């Protein structure tokens, strides 16, 4: 049987892992179109590269649990040369009295799915984490397993090598249009060439909304800039988990210091096409004061450097969009993860490959993340977005 021709738009971590997963299914006629093989501005390469099981939507917990096992067994998955330095350090997520009830409900759901998450009251939190200011904390939760951080660049390179070893082709080009016959895509235009296809996977990350518009499809995914700051402080980072504050500020150990960040206000968060300039004012005006209030040792913080990358922000409900378009069935989405794309890439790739190879999901039921919820205007909001 001839393998179907599959074109993946976007060669970041989701596109590369999807190519590798398809090849493992025996579907080896796979072309990955990536406009910048240096990945200089790739969301994958510029991400904080972490994974957590603490989400509000069950499908996201399942994707994280799958992703964690993938990362722990990355050599078996992607080859013996895959070195990603996974640190299973956990996420410490703080909550106040306003969110305590919802957090405990989510905690029960997470544990029911197999997440190993511990909870702390105010006194227990203060005792376990004496470097924290805990006056306003009503609940804190910490993932004891399957949460931490890793080297996203190394993961991307290993995924790309594994896909190429499986016979996937990577083409340096930019998708600029499509050839359609009725409700099917038959070709992808890219830099003057036409790539015939039986399936198209939109894994273009922050550019996936623009790719969808080439087909007249309104995919509510937009590029939003997020700045990561690296700093040092008189605080021992060894053994410290990744911290998410009530305010939305976050930080974690990195080398002999720390990295951290915070989302800008919605009014100051436009589409970020081409803008990779770090937002230094965000550090001075918001992040530093918030972190110093939560971790007093950070009052003596020293900024080392900063960089900015793009989230593929799903403005509809901050959840990924995975699976076929309801009217153009050979168009499959794998995008819109709103900051949790790297951690959910392994499960997304597995699911997309299963859909194309078998016509249904086998490992995780990803149908809640389908485009149908957008078409029907039924958002499924993810509350745990940072």
All structural domains of the chain with their residue ranges: 6-78+151-220+316-375, 91-144+222-311
Residue 110 pLDDT grade (very low, low, confident, very high; cuts 50, 70, 90): very high
pLDDT over 80 (residue 386): no
Note if the pTM is more than 0.85.
yes
**pLDDT tens digits, one per residue of 140-162:** 999 999 999 999 999 999 999 99
> Which among 293, 323, 315 has a CA at the least distance from the CA of 18?
323
CATH architecture for residues 91-144+222-311? 2-Layer Sandwich (3.30)
pLDDT of residue 23: 97
pLDDT over 70 (residue 1): no
**Which is it for strands 242-244 and 91-95: parallel, antiparallel or unpaired?**
parallel
Token code pair at residue 365? 């039921």
Q: In what order do the strands lie in the sheet with 250-254?
A: 117-120, 139-143, 91-95, 242-244, 250-254, 257-261, 221-232, 302-314
pLDDT over 70 (residue 75): yes
The angle formed by the CA atoms of residues 319, 322 and 327, to the nearest 5 degrees, is: 120
Share of the chain above pLDDT 70, in %: 100
Residue 40 pLDDT grade (very low, low, confident, very high; cuts 50, 70, 90): very high
Dihedral of CA atoms 342, 344, 350, 356 in degrees, nearest 10, equals: -90
> Which among 328, 359, 131 has a CA at the least distance from the CA of 218?
328
pLDDT over 90 (residue 223): yes
Average pLDDT value for residue range 110-128: 97
Average per-residue pLDDT for the chain? 96
**pLDDT tens digits, one per residue of 259-285:** 999 999 988 899 998 899 999 999 999
Burial category of 151 from C-beta neighbours within 10 Å (exposed 0-12, middle 13-18, buried 19 and up) = middle
Distance of alpha carbon 109 from alpha carbon 36, whole angstroms? 40
Q: Distance of CA 145 to CAs 67, 119, 176, 277, 360, Å?
A: 12, 13, 43, 35, 30
> Which among 24, 35, 3 has a CA at the least distance from the CA of 196?
3
pLDDT over 90 (residue 120): yes
Three-state DSSP at 41 gives: coil
The residues, any chain, with a CB within 8 Å of residue 53's CB and separated by 6 or more, are: 61, 64, 65, 68, 110, 115, 116, 117, 143, 146, 147
What CATH number labels 6-78+151-220+316-375?
3.50.50.60
HSE-up of residue 31 (Cα within 13 Å, Cβ side) = 23
| Start-end of H helices in 73-139 | 74-78, 100-112, 122-128
Q: In what order do the strands lie in the sheet with 184-190?
A: 175-181, 184-190, 193-196
Distance of alpha carbon 179 from alpha carbon 181, whole angstroms? 7
């Amino acid at each position: 049987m001839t393998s179907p021709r599959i074109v993946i738009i976007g060669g970041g971590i989701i596109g590369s892992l999807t190519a590798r997963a398809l090849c493992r299914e025996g579907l080896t006629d796979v072309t990955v179109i990536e406009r910048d093989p240096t990945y200089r501005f790739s969301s994958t390469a510029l991400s904080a590269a972490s994974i957590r099981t603490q989400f509000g939507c069950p499908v996201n917990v399942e994707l994280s649990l799958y992703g964690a096992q993938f990362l722990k067994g990355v050599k078996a998955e992607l080859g013996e040369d895959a070195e990603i330095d996974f640190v299973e350090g956990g996420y410490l997520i703080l909550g106040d009295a306003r969110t305590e009830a919802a957090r405990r409900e989510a905690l029960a759901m997470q544990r029911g799915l197999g997440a190993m998450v511990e909870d702390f009251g105010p006194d227990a939190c203060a005792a376990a984490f004496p470097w924290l200011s805990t006056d306003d904390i009503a609940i804190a939760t910490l993932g004891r397993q399957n949460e931490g951080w890793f080297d996203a660049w190394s993961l991307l390179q290993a995924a790309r090598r594994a896909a190429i070893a499986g016979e996937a082709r990577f083409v340096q080009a930019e998708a600029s249009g499509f050839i359609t016959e009725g409700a099917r895509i038959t070709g992808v235009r890219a830099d003057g060439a036409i790539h015939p296809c039986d399936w198209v996977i939109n894994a273009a990350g922050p550019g996936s909304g623009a790719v969808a518009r080439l087909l007249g499809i309104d995919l509510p995914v937009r590029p939003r800039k997020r700045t990561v700051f690296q700093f040092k402080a008189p605080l021992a980072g060894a053994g410290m988990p990744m911290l998410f504050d009530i305010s939305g500020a976050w930080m974690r150990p990195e080398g002999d210091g720390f990295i951290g960040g915070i989302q800008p206000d919605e009014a100051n968060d436009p589409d970020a096409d081409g803008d990779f300039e770090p937002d230094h004012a965000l550090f001075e005006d918001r992040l530093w004061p918030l972190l110093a209030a939560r971790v007093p040792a950070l009052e003596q913080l020293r900024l080392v450097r900063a960089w900015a990358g793009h989230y593929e922000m799903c403005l509809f409900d901050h959840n990924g969009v995975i699976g076929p378009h309801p009217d153009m069935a050979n168009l499959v989405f794998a995008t819109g993860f709103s900051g949790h794309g790297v951690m959910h890439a392994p499960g997304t790739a597995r699911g997309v490959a299963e859909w194309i190879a078998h016509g249904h999901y086998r490992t995780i039921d990803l149908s809640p993340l389908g485009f149908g919820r957008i078409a029907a205007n039924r958002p499924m909001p993810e509350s745990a977005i940072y």
